[in-house]
Amino acid sequence: MNRLSLNQWTTRRWSVAEAVAGCVRHGIASIGLWRDHVAVHGLEATAALVRAEGLRVSSLCRGGFFTRPGWREDNHQAIEEAAVLGAACLVLVPGGLPSGSKDLAGARAQVSDALAELAPYARERGVRLAVEPMHPMYCADRSVVSTLRQALDLAPPEVGVTVDSFHVWWDPEAPAQIARAGDRIASFQVCDFLNPLPADVLLGRAMMGDGVIDFPSLCAAVEAAGYTGDIEVEIFNADVWAADPDEVLTTMRKRYAELIVA
Amino acid sequence: MNRLSLNQWTTRRWSVAEAVAGCVRHGIASIGLWRDHVAVHGLEATAALVRAEGLRVSSLCRGGFFTRPGWREDNHQAIEEAAVLGAACLVLVPGGLPSGSKDLAGARAQVSDALAELAPYARERGVRLAVEPMHPMYCADRSVVSTLRQALDLAPPEVGVTVDSFHVWWDPEAPAQIARAGDRIASFQVCDFLNPLPADVLLGRAMMGDGVIDFPSLCAAVEAAGYTGDIEVEIFNADVWAADPDEVLTTMRKRYAELIVA
């Protein structure tokens, strides 16, 4: 249970202070923070709060979107924020096709170039980057990096990856690519995949056990690859967001025990 | 223009007789038939009609669904129908997870076993099978075969594949796997990928040019692999279905000329 982390977006209506208090109340030792919530609470104040409460920061979400104008400045800022927060990594959402473009190969090259450029910047500040391959249904609008194989191929070796159950569960190559990733796994996020998908496919993420993912085999692959870091529960789901966050955390602990570390 | 084929589902409200007449009226020399429409018109009557009008049958849609009870009988029947119609291939939708199951590896093994069993049955009847890898967002409910690489790996060499732009456009390995497929490409289907996706993700298919796919590079890869068969336009889209089918065919011919064989 000690490796369980609450990704803040799971209880998105909670402020930073409420989410930190929720973690403490439920015996959760780690939290994945979101930059917009952190900005509201204040960067230094958030860093002080999590330190005071003894929580680890399993990740900061998120940098990336390398195919949008202004990506460089935004990512420099995100890296500096991750350093202040002492986050184990900065999660990078690669970004989709540039507005109006159909040049997928070009967009992928942009992501590769941006990662190569940011890697030393992050290294000098002691921040670990974690590029997140995303489900192919988000290829156009959110991530032109669609598989773990591709993420490992296009990022410099010092850049880590985020393995997210929702994004990789379908991939026949996932077990082999998780093994290949080894200590490049900088972040492990879990949630289930709803079937059927809801009208907004971004909200197809569900509590572990409520969808179609075979967690024991996925978790065994990540464990066998040597990953010993925190396991973040990140759920974008209208029903979860509408529920009492304390009930969400209770369910989350139970499902984590049953499915993730069983 | 001679390789253009109308997949009947693009004008799904048209009966077989109406779709055949539409092809003749618009100078389209080939049609992809659907079994449910064919059953309404009658199998022998459909075969006689397309012969009389001089149309090719680029495919029969569809067999497969190998993870459902009764798959064997249904596929034997589909193969026999494809033989009577003289279809260039029988398109196979692999099927999703069995009801209530999370055993993805097991479902994939079921598909592989079924294809191995059906291959000689089809060969003896002169029917070419074309297994269709489908977009990973359909992995749970429609196709546990998610990539061209996987389809080529799990089917016997004599079984062909369907390359569908909607299903493969995002895949960084698509160009290499299309080249690898070579003469195993038994069917090429085109339509665009909508961004954002509609509420029912099954209807995210669009007229070529209305979405995010870079058709010239995809078509060049299929051409370079040696494929010389028909190119079927298959669109599942509420607006296309609501439109006058004759207007749909006019637009389809225009976009085909601009984007597919430019």
For residue range B53-88, list pLDDT tens digits in order. 999 999 999 999 999 999 999 999 999 999 999 999
State whether residue B53 sits within 8 Å of chain A by CB.
no
When scoring A153, A212, A217 by the number of chain B Cβ atoms within 10 A, the one with the most, hence best to mutate, is: A212
Question: Whole-model pTM?
Answer: 0.97
Helices (H), chain A: 16-25, 35-41, 43-52, 71-85, 104-124, 148-154, 165-168, 174-181, 215-224, 238-242, 245-255
| CB-CB contact of A6 with A28 (8 Å) | yes
Mean per-residue pLDDT, A96-102: 96
What pLDDT digit, counting tens, does each position of A180-202 carry? 999 999 999 999 999 999 999 99
At A141 the pLDDT is 97
Question: Which pLDDT does position B177 carry in this prediction?
Answer: 98
B119 has pLDDT over 80? yes
Per-residue model confidence (pLDDT) at position A262: 77
Helix (H) or strand (E) holding B206: strand B205-206
- The DSSP secondary structure of A89-114, one letter per residue, reads -EEEE-B-SPTT---HHHHHHHHHHH
Amino acid in position A32: G
Whole-number average pLDDT of chain B: 98
User: Residue B70: exposed, middle, or buried by beta-carbon count in 10 A (0-12, 13-18, 19+)?
Assistant: exposed
Shortest CB distance from A140 goes to which of B102, B149, B193?
Answer: B193
CATH number at residue A47: 3.20.20.150
Among A216, A204, A249, smallest CA distance to A11 is for A249
By the 8 A CB rule, do A131 and A155 touch? Answer: yes
Q: What is the pLDDT of residue A214?
A: 97
Contact A170 B135 (CB under 8 A): no
What letters, b where the CB count within 10 A reaches 16 and e where it falls short, cover B105-116? eebbebbbebbe
The DSSP-derived string for B137-199 is GGTTTTBS--SHHHHHHHS-TTSEEEEEHHHHTT-TTHHHHHHHHGGGEEEEEE-EE-SSPPS
Closest Cβ opposite residue A103 in set B169, B201, B214: B214
Interchain pair B141, A196: CB under 8 A: yes
The interface predicted TM-score of the complex, written ipTM, equals 0.96
The SS3 assignment for A130 reads: strand
Q: A153 vs chain B: nearest CA distance in angstroms? A: 11
Backbone angles phi, psi at B93, to 5 degrees: -90, 115
3-state helix, strand, coil split of chain A in percent (to 5) is: 50, 15, 35
Check: CB of residue B140 under 8 Å from CB of residue A193: yes
Task: Flag whether residue A100 sits within 8 Å of chain B, measured between CB atoms.
Answer: no
Alpha helices in chain B (DSSP H): 16-26, 35-41, 43-53, 71-85, 104-124, 148-154, 165-168, 174-181, 215-224, 238-242, 245-255
- With beta carbons under 8 A apart, name residues in chain B contacting A102: 212-214
Q: What would the pLDDT profile of B203-250 be if each residue is shown by its tens digit?
A: 999 999 999 999 999 999 999 999 999 999 999 999 999 999 999 999
First to last CA, chain B: 10
In chain A, which residue's Cα lies nearest the Cα of B203? A199
Which band of pLDDT confidence, cut at 50, 70 and 90, is reported for residue A21? very high
Q: What is the pLDDT of residue B1?
A: 78
Give me the mean pLDDT over the A59-73 stretch: 98
- The pLDDT of residue A1 is 78
Residue B262 pLDDT class (50, 70, 90 cuts): confident
Which residue from A139, A172, A212 is facing B170, i.e. has the nearest CB?
A: A139
Does residue B35 have a cis peptide bond before it, meaning omega lies within 30 degrees of 0?
Answer: no
* pLDDT surpasses 80 at B31: yes
**Cβ atoms A224, A179 nearer than 8 A:** yes
Number of domains, chain B: 1
Strands B192-193 and B205-206: antiparallel
Predicted confidence band of residue A225 (pLDDT cuts 50, 70, 90): very high
For the cut 80, the answer to whether the pLDDT of residue A229 exceeds it is: yes
**pLDDT of res. B87:** 98
Distance CA A31, CA A23 (A): 8
Q: Which helix (H) or strand (E) holds A233?
A: strand A231-233
Domain extent for A60: 4-260
**Between the CA of residue B239 and those of A79, A198, B74, B206, what are the distances in Å?**
45, 20, 31, 9
Asked if B195 lies within 8 A of A140 by C-beta distance, the reply is: yes
Does residue B227 contact residue B218 with C-beta atoms inside 8 Å?
Answer: no
Predicted confidence band at A14 (pLDDT cuts at 50, 70, 90)? Answer: very high
Q: How far is CA A197 from the centre of its chain?
A: 20
Residue B190 corresponds to which amino acid?
V
d(CA B193, CA A50): 43
- Measure the CA–CA gap between B10 and B12, rounded to whole angstroms: 6
**What pLDDT is stored for residue A260 in this prediction?**
97
Contact at CB, A102 and B212, closer than 8 angstroms: yes
Q: Give contacts of A214 with chain B, Cβ < 8 Å.
A: 102-104
CB contact at 8 A, A245 and A11? yes
Mean pLDDT of the region A99-124: 98
Report the pLDDT value the prediction gives residue A4, as an integer from 0 to 100.
98
Q: What is the dihedral angle through the alpha carbons of B107, B113, B114, B116, rounded to the nearest 10 degrees?
A: 150
